[in-house]
Amino acid sequence: MQGLDVLATPSPRNQRLLPLLSVLLLALAVGGSALLYRRSLKSDRIIPGLVLGDTRLGAVSSDALEPTVERVAARFLDGVVTLKFGGGVSLTATRRELGARLDPVATARTLRGLGKSGSFLADVSHRVQARRGKLRVPLSLELDRDVALEFFIRLKEEVDRPLVPAKLDLDRQTVIPGREGYLLHVYDCLVATELALRHGEDRVALAVSVQDPDVARQGRRLKDLDISQVLGHYSTVYSLADKDVDRAHNLQVGASKIDGKVLYPGEQMSFNEVVGRRTEVEGYRMAHVINEGELVDGMAGGACQLSSTLFAASFFAGLDLVSSRPHTRPSSYIKMGLDAAVAYPTTDLVIKNPYPFPVVIHYKVNQGKVRVNILGKQRPWRKIVFERELKEQQPFKEVLRKDASIPHGKRVVAQVGVPAFKLVRRRLFYARGKKEPVKTEERELRYPANTQYINEGTGPSDPEWKAPKEHTPFGEVPPTFTVEQ
């Protein structure tokens, strides 16, 4: 019991000796550790626990170190690296195939130096990490550029592929998906591979240009384009006679410039900007045009039929009619009020898409008919009505011209006169479920009178002369006219 009391309650002398004893024990421990540390610095073995590549090493001797490094490196070089490029596509190759090469001397030198720098605290920290398997040593790899270059040149032949753009099938009213295009940049891939090897990474992001197949000519995406509905349409006719072959040719050329044009929400389109100059360089020919109310031969005759057909289709599709001007002479191919004259660059037709979805313009010119469909999603209107009301009509003048090519006393109508008209054009919008129009647009239009020219013969009499076919006189215009879609 007394002994227990002594242990439980040290004497004053023992209490004074305890701190000295603790200091002595600590000094012995530090001294012993320091002695062991100094001895380890002279050892030819690396500190145990280092992780090289994917292998944890023991206390390997200096003589066995380089062969050990080479064995570990061989497994590492045969390891697979993932090569990633556009669109989530990837492929694999071994590090050896990529041209990776080991520098065993440099790697061994790094292993020998770890935990033996001579800085006690730093070395202790390294040794603790190594014992826990958390001190990773990168393999000293270098890239054989000749091998890597040959690899990526071969890969380029496999990876590169041309862009197949998405395109609109306007006749079937759908979008044909395209295919991405890839272009591998060989020398940029060398740099990316070298950096990945240096940091021991198992993924390399290849330098590849990816071309998006869903981008249209206007730089917008076609992928989500819906052209399943015809919002509005209109057709006009043209002559297939041999004398009008150049005009028919011009219709084909002009329509090709604008067919497939996409109008995105809020976007407007100028006919002159899209179709461009109408000259011989662009493939146009001389054909009949209206000049100051008179039919004459001019370059790119037929452009106004394209613009008028587009105007009428846009009218019934519910597009905004931003800017348009009627002809100076009513056209035979379209009703008055639905025509739109164009003359580059002064007289233009401008339309705008008011809908929250894209619309596409589709032209078809064949079999003597020009047809325009405005394609998109279903329009919000049940029907759209064209209403024309004749307000005023004035007679035309008649001019008699002498013509020596016609026998004396004979007359030929060279150009049929057309009265002057003032009319009001209305566009009525009917919503679904509504009997009365919910919106009405109104515009006053004027067509000037066109002079009638009569050629009177002054030439010698010719009993065999035959008068040319008489022009059909301009018909009556009803006081009102209505069309709906």
The pLDDT tens digits of the residues spanning 103-125 come to: 888 888 888 888 888 888 888 88
Give residue 470's pLDDT: 82
Residue 33, pLDDT score: 58
Provide the pLDDT for residue 6: 40
pLDDT tens for 414-469 read: 989 999 999 999 999 999 999 999 999 999 999 999 999 999 999 999 989 998 88
- What is the predicted pLDDT for the residue at 461? 92
* Longest Cα separation, the chain: 168
Give the separation between CA 297 and CA 295, rounded to whole angstroms: 7
What size, in residues, is the chain? 485
pTM for this model (two decimals): 0.65
Is the confidence at residue 20, as pLDDT, over 60? no
Tokens of residue 431, six digits: 């919503």
| Average confidence (pLDDT) over 54-68 | 87
Q: Tens of pLDDT along 27-56?
A: 544 455 567 777 778 888 888 998 887 789
Give me the percent of the chain exceeding a pLDDT of 90: 48
Tens digits of residue pLDDT in 177-201? 777 788 889 999 999 998 888 887 8
Q: Read out DSSP for 310-332? A: HHHHHHHHT-EEEE----SS--T
How many Cα neighbours within 13 Å face the side chain of 105?
0
Q: What is the pLDDT of residues 130-166, one digit of tens each?
A: 889 888 887 778 889 999 999 999 999 888 888 777 7
Q: Where are the domains of the chain?
A: 2-37, 51-211, 226-379, 381-485
Residue range 345-366: mean pLDDT, rounded: 96
Q: How confident is the model at residue 388 (pLDDT cuts 50, 70, 90)?
A: very high
254: closest CA among 230, 289, 225, 226?
289
Residues 311, 317, 322: CA angle, nearest 5 degrees: 50
Give mean pLDDT, residues 167-179.
Answer: 83
Query: Which residues, other chains included, contact 90 with Cβ-Cβ below 8 Å and sequence gap of 6+?
Result: 82, 83, 84
Within 191-319, strands assigned E span 203-205, 208-211, 229-237, 262-263, 268-270, 286-291, 294-299
> Between 351 and 8, whose confidence is greater?
351
Whole-number pLDDT of residue 340: 96
Residue 251 reports pLDDT greater than 60: yes
> What CA–CA distance (Å, rounded) separates 165 from 163?
6
Q: Which of 16-25, 377-386, 400-409, 446-455 has the lowest mean pLDDT?
A: 16-25
- Give the pLDDT confidence score for residue 216 in this predicted structure: 57
In the predicted model, is pLDDT for residue 299 greater than 80? Answer: no
CB 168 within 8 A of CB 156: no
Selected residue with higher pLDDT from 457 and 9: 457
At residue 75, the pLDDT reads 86
- pLDDT level of residue 23 (50, 70, 90 thresholds): low
Model confidence at 211, in pLDDT bands (50, 70, 90)?
Answer: confident
Strand segments, DSSP code E, in 28-164 are: 51-52, 55-56, 80-85, 89-94, 100-102, 136-137, 141-143
pLDDT given at position 483:
96
Q: Alpha-carbon distance 143 to 101, whole Å?
A: 6
Instruction: Output the pLDDT for position 118.
Output: 85
Greater model confidence, 351 or 205? 351
Does position 7 have pLDDT exceeding 60, yes or no? Answer: no
* Choice between 17 and 129, residue whose per-residue pLDDT is larger: 129
Q: Which residue has the higher pLDDT, 233 or 28?
A: 233
Look at residue 332 and tell me whether its pLDDT is greater than 90: no
